Amino acid sequence: ISALKKHQKAASNVPPYQNILPLVSKRTAPPKRTMRASSILSLLLWSSAISTASAGLFKKKHRRQKAGTKYEPHGEVHVVVNKVGPFNNPTETYRYYSLPFCRTHADESTHKEAYEEERNIALESDEEEEEESASYLRKLEIKGNRIGAERHKQRLGESIVGDRRETSPYELSFKDDIEWRLLCKTTLDKHDLIQLKEAIHNNYFFEMFIEDLPMWGYVGDIEDEDEILGEVEGQSHTYLFPHLHFKLGYNKNQIVSAAVTTERDRRVDITNVNKPTPVQFSYSVEYFEDDLPWRMRMTRYADSRFLPGSFEIHWLSIINSFVLVLLLTAFLTIILMRVLKNDFSRYMEIDDSSMEEEESGWKLIHGDVFRFPQFPVLFCASVGTGVQLTIATLLLLGLALTGMISTTRRGSILAGMVILYCLTTTVGAYISTRLYFQMNGKNWVRCVLFTAGLFPVPTSFVFMWVNTVALFHGSTSALPFSTIFTIGAIFALVALPLTVLGGIVAKNYANLDFNAPTRTTKVAREIPTEVPWYRSRFVQMVVSGFLPFSAIYIELHYIFASMWGHQIYTLFGILLFAFVLLLIVTSFISVALLYFQLAREDHRWWWSTFINSGMTGLFIYAYSFFYYFHRSGMTGMLQSSFYFGYMSIVSFGFFLMLGSCGFHFSLLFVKHIYSRVKCD
């Protein structure tokens, strides 16, 4: 270091680039002491840079505010801000402080001046009013120690749904009403005004939390805007809402309800963005006693005016679906039982000599009906993944119904589905590997790998696309690296080993005999080509997809409103019932269509049954287009990418679930009818 100082002192009058050149061009080696000193200095500089970068990347986050706090009188109540975004685009969200909101609280002196202006207190005012104002100011005790825009620690589910909770400078205390308090004074420049004005014109709302109770409000409002031309100069006005009124309900020493409103009387006109506008951001607090139990605090949100819609029609929809299922089940049972009974009686009465002459229809193809399908690896992986998704869905709905998974906690359903999917991979691998061995398959490792990636790989491609779009737009919907790493680690350390375990268990312990009731011939029978149009493959696909979809389409609207809106879905009992009805209807439809297919001597029923049963997934995706364009106000590249991308994954999941369910019922049906007839 001393050698470097001497060199720097000797070259202090030389320009920097000339000071470096002699050192570079010099061929003789520098002294060892200088080399050591420069190495130490470089090491110190690099360590300082790395520590600075680490401090920025791994900045310590605030401990999350746990709900259910039992407050002491005048205890601190924290307001957690989350995000802002267009109301019609629930996925297009941004950090709360992406808009120019206050990050620090005004001190007492600044507040006192603003409060006197607010109350219009002058020296010649009434003495009683002045004393009242002075006593109010003495009770304020503004600490100014709360800083905004500091990140909170979050759960996995909260990060998945795009929450980015941060601290706020609002100073609230338990059971202490605040008539009016200044948050901060600021002057909005042209950039800030343009940003706020664009947000207001896009119908931006903000979201906050107190005790995990969500609160919503609008950033501003527009008046006298033309419906066609939009903003008209000199006629329409854009207003900002700088004042928030918090209304908090308490039951004993716990906060059980929270709401925030904006006051139109205190709005600020920001129509002219070329003129700097001074704004006073302020807030007020009102407490009231509420008899709502703390455990029932989320029930109020079903009736919130901010969240459109109601749940009154749910029971009507489920009754409609149930009646449809009963009628359909009774109809199919009567028809199939009568037809099969006639077939069985005819086949049992004839003797062996006239068997060949009398055989026709489904009995004629007994030597080909158990001929295994093409692409057995893909087929078995699809069946196994469908069973896995069905079990995971039933477990999720059951846990939500029993309260083991909190349905009101943000993102808990998505996080629960991720965990359950990884834990049930053993089931999917077991089913697919067992079926693959029953089909005389040899490369079971390939089947296990197909099962492991059949659903996650398309999901990953969709995720990479929508996450890239979200990062490009700077949206909070883009998952942070820590969340991506967590999900990837769960899949790699839990899902993949369990998948391999399921395949090994199936290989060593499962029953690998297919137990076909009839023998398969060496040469496949020719399939008739002349088929009436109403028995064609396309008509079967339409019928098999439309009938189950008609049983759930009413409930599907509310599910979409919850997934892609602001409603909180809590009726998981009805949802579980509707899902079971969907499985039952799909199974009966697949069996009925399978009988008609076998009756026309078409023995290629494996893939056709799976596809017919899964066609409801395609109808769900088609309904998503109808909902997007006619039942929602969603617009924009970001929202469209998330909506259509993830709805394709949901529809693909339904395709696999219903396809595997229909296939298993069809397999039982085929084995049953061919085990009851006489065959050579």
**Cβ(281)–Cβ(183) below 8 Å:** yes
Q: Which of 294, 304, 308, 563 is nearest to 411 (CA)?
A: 563
DSSP class of 449: H
DSSP assignment of 375-419 equals: SHHHHHHHHHHHHHHHHHHHHHHHHHHHTSS-SSSTTHHHHHHHH
Token output for 133: 């104002």
pLDDT of residue 7: 42
DSSP class of 286: E
* β-sheet bridge partners, residue 152: 62
Q: Is 287 helix (H, G, I), strand (E, B) or coil?
A: strand
Token output for 118: 């607010």
How far, in Å, are 82, 334, 402, 597 from residue 220 at the CA level?
18, 62, 41, 61
Amino acid at position 12, single letter = S
* β-sheet bridge partners, residue 634: none
User: In the chain, what's the furthest Cα-to-Cα distance?
Assistant: 122
Residue 212 to residue 254: CA distance in whole angstroms: 12
- Angle CA 5–8–14, to nearest 5: 170
Q: Is 227 helix (H, G, I), strand (E, B) or coil?
A: coil
Quote the pTM value.
0.82
pLDDT of residue 639: 93
Q: In what order do the strands lie in the sheet with 204-210?
A: 94-95, 80-86, 204-210, 213-218
Angle between helices 314-349 and 572-599 in degrees, nearest 10: 30
Q: Which residues contact 466 (CB under 8 A, 6 or more apart)?
A: 477, 641, 642, 645, 646
If 0-12 CB within 10 Å is exposed, 13-18 middle and 19+ buried, where does residue 261 land?
middle
**Mean pLDDT for each 10-residue chunk of the chain (680 residues)?**
43 37 34 44 40 43 75 90 92 93 88 76 48 51 78 86 91 91 92 94 93 92 68 77 95 92 90 91 93 82 50 64 76 71 60 48 80 92 96 94 80 91 95 93 92 95 95 92 92 94 92 85 79 82 88 82 78 83 88 86 89 94 94 90 95 96 92 72
Amino acid at position 404, single letter = M
User: What is the gyration radius of the CA atoms in the chain, in angstroms?
Assistant: 34
The distance from CA 432 to its chain's CA centroid, rounded to whole angstroms, is 28
First to last CA, the chain: 99
Q: Which residue has the tokens 């402080």?
A: 97
pLDDT of residue 349: 59
DSSP class of 207: E
Residue 415 to residue 380: CA distance in whole angstroms: 27
Overall residue count recorded for the chain in this entry: 680
Q: Is 632 helix (H, G, I), strand (E, B) or coil?
A: coil
Q: Which residues contact 401 (CB under 8 A, 6 or more apart)?
A: 572, 573, 576
Residue 270 to residue 222: CA distance in whole angstroms: 10
pLDDT of residue 233: 65
pLDDT of residue 83: 93
Q: How many CB atoms lie within 10 A of CB 337?
A: 10
**Cβ(578)–Cβ(627) below 8 Å:** no
Q: Which of 377, 503, 387 is nearest to 436 (CA)?
A: 377
* β-sheet bridge partners, residue 220: 240
pLDDT of residue 170: 94
- Given its phi and psi angles, is residue 475 left (phi above 0), alpha (psi -120 to 50 degrees) or beta? beta
Token output for 40: 């130490």
